[in-house]
Amino acid sequence: MVLPSVEAALREAQAERERPSLIVAQTTIGYGSPNKANTGGVHGAPLGTDEVALTRETLGWPYEPFIVPQEALDHMRLALERGADAQADWERRLAEYRAAYPAEAAQLEADLNGELPDGWADALADLFANEEKPLATREAGGRVMNAIAERLHTLVGGSADLAPSNNTMLRDFVNADGEKVTPHNMHFGVREHAMGSIAGGIALHGGVIPYTGTFLIFSDYMRPPMRLAALMGQRVIYVFTHDSIGLGEDGPTHQAVEQLIGLRSVPNMVVLRPAEATETAVAWRAAIERKTGPTVLVFTRQGLPVLDRSVYPTADGVLRGAYVLWESSANPEIILIGTGSEVQIALDAGKALAGKDIAARVVSMPSWELFDAQPKEYRDAVLPPAVRARVSVEAGRTIGWERYVGLEGVSIGVDTFGASAPYQRIYQEYGLTAERVAEAAESLVRGGA
């Protein structure tokens, strides 16, 4: 019989403790249908009244639609009794654990409820206070993760065989090999789809905050589980590094171009592309604190100047999606908007414009989704509707930027595939420069004068 052989195969697989098991089941789609079994006709369409009647006859099923035989009903309802017994046993053991280990039990319940410990983010405030050299946001992200993990033991994850490149290894914890304790670092292997699915399953179980890591270009392999995490409102953090043509010589096969707009288009997905190290710290804070859906963190390969926050506003503006980073006047003539590595380009362009007596405002916009969720008063304060001369700059597709720069604005980006060369050369060739941004901005201002 079929059922005993299926059970025997499952039992054998469960007994195997060293190797994965593959169970191959030879099945017939539409089994029992005399005219449509084993055809595409049963894949995406109903059998139809006549074929349903014939299928009942073939299977020896005399019951009318929606009738459940009493014997089957009684058998299935035994699960209610087993479930009640299992639940009672679990609650009894939890009560015993709580009595014997009250502190650990309280921690377990807090973890399962997704609560964060007091002061978990305290170490982030001054993490980059003395940083003088340019720092890639992927490297900054690795430092932030390890600082967080010192106080937040529920942060668990890994990468698709790219941990040294993604900087996603938690240094103070052993690797997850099935035997050792504290399995915070997981080696998913070169399989992004499976990695995303595993992270989603961990989130559904609860008790930990899962993260994954790979290059941004490989997010395409992970789209199905990411979409499901967004649909189900699961708390998963996706770390993507090597985020643009800025990765350089690896060339167009590895240079992400259309991935950012693709991820931004997923409902209930928050995407953050921080401009430098201090924004990276706040971006991680936003990701950890978000409980209603997945968060994407997008980091650079190339080094970026770390902004002196005694000169520029606090990076906490990241939590609102966009903020005014710098302006030469409270009454700007032009607004320059950048994300990630292009914020520095916008900043240099803004200062160049100020030297030409053009009042410029520079806005860092790491997250469209967080900014769009802000009250209208805040959005209008950052992007005053009266200032219609606007330029955006981002090393990705320009699709979607018209909602922020308007029909009269200019979007500078990458609307073709990348190329293999040092990233400085690629940026120059593709026009992602402060000179081009300033030129476009001056043209808007002078042309509208």
Between CA 384 and CA 406 the distance in angstroms is: 12
- Contact 229/236 with Cβ under 8 angstroms? yes
Is 192 among the residues known to form the active site? yes
CB within 8 Å of 322: residues ≥ 6 apart: 337, 363, 364, 365, 366, 367, 370, 371, 382, 383
CB within 8 Å of 167: residues ≥ 6 apart: 138, 139, 141, 142, 143, 145, 241
Two tokens at 73? 């009903």
Between CA 30 and CA 51 the distance in angstroms is: 11
Q: Is 7 helix (H, G, I), strand (E, B) or coil?
A: helix
**Given the residues 192, 342, 369, 442, the one annotated as active site:** 192
At 39, the amino acid letter reads: T
Between CA 369 and CA 262 the distance in angstroms is: 13
Torsion (CA) 225, 227, 230, 232 in degrees, nearest 10? -60
Between CA 3 and CA 20 the distance in angstroms is: 22
DSSP assigned state of 175: B
DSSP assigned state of 39: S
SS3 content of the chain, % helix, strand, coil (to 5): 45, 10, 45
At residue 313's C-alpha, the angle toward residues 309 and 318, to 5°, is 100
Q: What is the largest CA-CA distance in the chain?
A: 88
Annotate 310-331 with b (16+ C-beta within 10 A) or e (fewer).
Answer: eebeebbbbbbbbbbbbbbeee
Torsion (CA) 400, 219, 296, 401 in degrees, nearest 10? -10
Q: Where are the beta strands (DSSP E) in 264-379?
A: 270-272, 295-298, 303-304, 323-327, 334-338, 360-364
Torsion (CA) 288, 290, 296, 300 in degrees, nearest 10? -40
- Contact 300/256 with Cβ under 8 angstroms? no
The CA distances from residue 351 to 314, 326, 364, in Å, are 19, 9, 15
DSSP assigned state of 69: -
Active site residues: 192
